[in-house]
Amino acid sequence: MKKKQLPPVAIISAPFGMGGAIPGAEYGPQALLRAGLAERLQALGRTVTCTTAEVTRQQERTQQLPLTNQAHTEQAPRLPQTNPAHTEQAPHLPQTNPAHTEQAPHLPQTTQAQTVQTQQSPQPVPSIQAPKDTSSRTPSEQADSNTSNGDRANTRSSTEPNPVKNIEEVLAICRLIAQNVKQAADAGAFPLLIGGDHSVAMGSLAGLSRSGKRLGVIWLDAHGDINSEQTSPTGNAHGMVLSVATGLSWLKLQEICDTGALLDPHRIVIVGARDLDDGEKRILAHRGIRCFTMSDVDRLGIRSVMKRAVAAAGNGTDGIHVSLDLDVLDPQEAPGVGTPVPGGLTYREARYAMEMLYESGAVTSMDIVEVNPMLDPGGRTAELAVSLAETLFGKRLI
Ligand SMILES: NC(=[NH2+])NCCC[C@H](N)C(=O)O
């Protein structure tokens, strides 16, 4: 029998951290590429292309970087150089060791985008700052957070100020990501979005969803990420993605991508949750969204949980999108994340989950998000993320 041609993998980097709680996730893509993501997927027989979707103070730009047989990785900030011959200078970061890197080739500009103002510095790696202050939210916003339920999420008038932090920047990057993801999916590739904080998944879901197509989603995360603007205790966009995707938020996927369509809540499954806000619990119950908490993993085992997750997300859908937030793992395994929560998946459970996703044959796109190199001594979390991706793409122990 002729072997089925595997679709090419379109890696889309989104160096963006303004949807999260603390800085650093914007360096995630570099750390993942530096850990060899592209080369390691190529070694599994996949054709790999790399694109960057980036919003800087002066410009948005995307860069097409087709991978040839030469390895292409970018240099991550403050990480020791391990293989000088195989690195390039990142286009927007200071060179930490010029003698040991190559100058990036001139990259063709593929998308001309409008200028947006962002506070995200495109220049030096900032020192670690304290978590963003949430006290700037008005008392009524705080009161809303405490009392609202899922239904009220839709009652917001469009004239009210939007409390989502950095909404302009979140929208700008997600629009760019959606374009790239849609283009890759339309061309028959497997879009692999690498963040960035989890808000970038609004871009991938917007680019993947469209009316008439049924997309299943498996959300591997310590959090529910299903706060609406009203229920969010922080105003951070990375905690609102599933609310946006299912139409509970004021912000809609269609504002990110004109073909974006609401996702069916019954085809969304959260796995590994252990830190749900009160408003999120109400939304989950009210909307019938399946959420396998860590207690479910304890009780049923990861095999049974993933079997059920794949069945629910794959039932009658055209494919499953896997959104892997590294904080689904226990912080002892994956310390380099912005919002760690104890009691997560073990290394083996996470790997087994990836094996089962590969075996399902149903996964058609993926996000890898929330790797924060500023909190990741030795690049442990980035390495783990890449090895989990390898497993999802079919790497086996034997
Ligand atoms: N993808 C994440 N790390 N999400 C964290 C969300 C934390 C909290 N529930 C919030 O809405 O702000």
Taking only the tens place, the pLDDT of each residue in 79-116 is 333 333 333 333 333 333 322 222 232 323 333 233 33
Q: Is the pLDDT of residue 56 over 80?
A: no
List alpha helices for 231-301, DSSP H.
241-245, 278-287, 294-300
Task: Give the nearest ligand 1 atom to 236 CA.
Answer: 12
Average model confidence (pLDDT) for the chain?
79
Is the CA virtual torsion 370, 372, 377, 380 positive or negative? positive
Question: Mean pLDDT over residues 212-219, rounded?
Answer: 94
Phi and psi (nearest 5°) for 388? -70, -40
**Residue of the CA atom closest to atom 4 of ligand 1:** 239
Domain that holds residue 81: 9-125+162-392
Look at residue 54 in the predicted model and tell me its pLDDT. 86
213 to 207, 216, 391: CA distances (angstroms)? 12, 10, 27
Rounded to 10 deg, the angle between the 347-360 and 302-314 helix axes is 30
Strands (E), 274-393: 290-293, 319-325, 363-369
Residue 52: which H helix or E strand, with range?
Answer: strand 48-55
Residue 1: predicted pLDDT: 56
- 138 has a pLDDT exceeding 50: no
Residue 327 is labelled as binding a ligand = yes
Alpha-carbon distance of 206 to 175, in angstroms, equals 8
86 has catalytic annotation: no
**Confidence at residue 5, expressed as pLDDT on a 0 to 100 scale:** 81
How does residue 211 score in pLDDT terms, banded at 50, 70 and 90?
confident
Identify the pLDDT of residue 212: 83
275 annotated to bind ligand: no
Is 89 inside a domain boundary? yes
Annotation marks residue 238 as catalytic: yes
In a domain, 32, yes or no: yes
Tell me if 97 is assigned to some domain. yes
Active site residue 321: no
HSE-up (13 A, CA, CB side) for residue 40: 21
Which ligand 1 atom is the nearest neighbour of the CA of 339?
Answer: 3
Cβ burial, residue 97 (10 Å; 0-12/13-18/19+): exposed
Is 15 part of a structural domain of the chain? yes
CA distances to 6, 47, 135, 167 from 3, in Å: 9, 15, 57, 46
Q: Report how many domains make up the chain.
A: 1
Lowest mean pLDDT among 93-102, 349-358, 384-393: 93-102
We report the CATH number of the domain holding residue 38 as: 3.40.800.10
- pLDDT at 160 (0 to 100): 53
Determine, yes or no, domain membership for 2.
no
In a domain? residue 378? yes
Is 330 annotated to bind a ligand? Reply is no
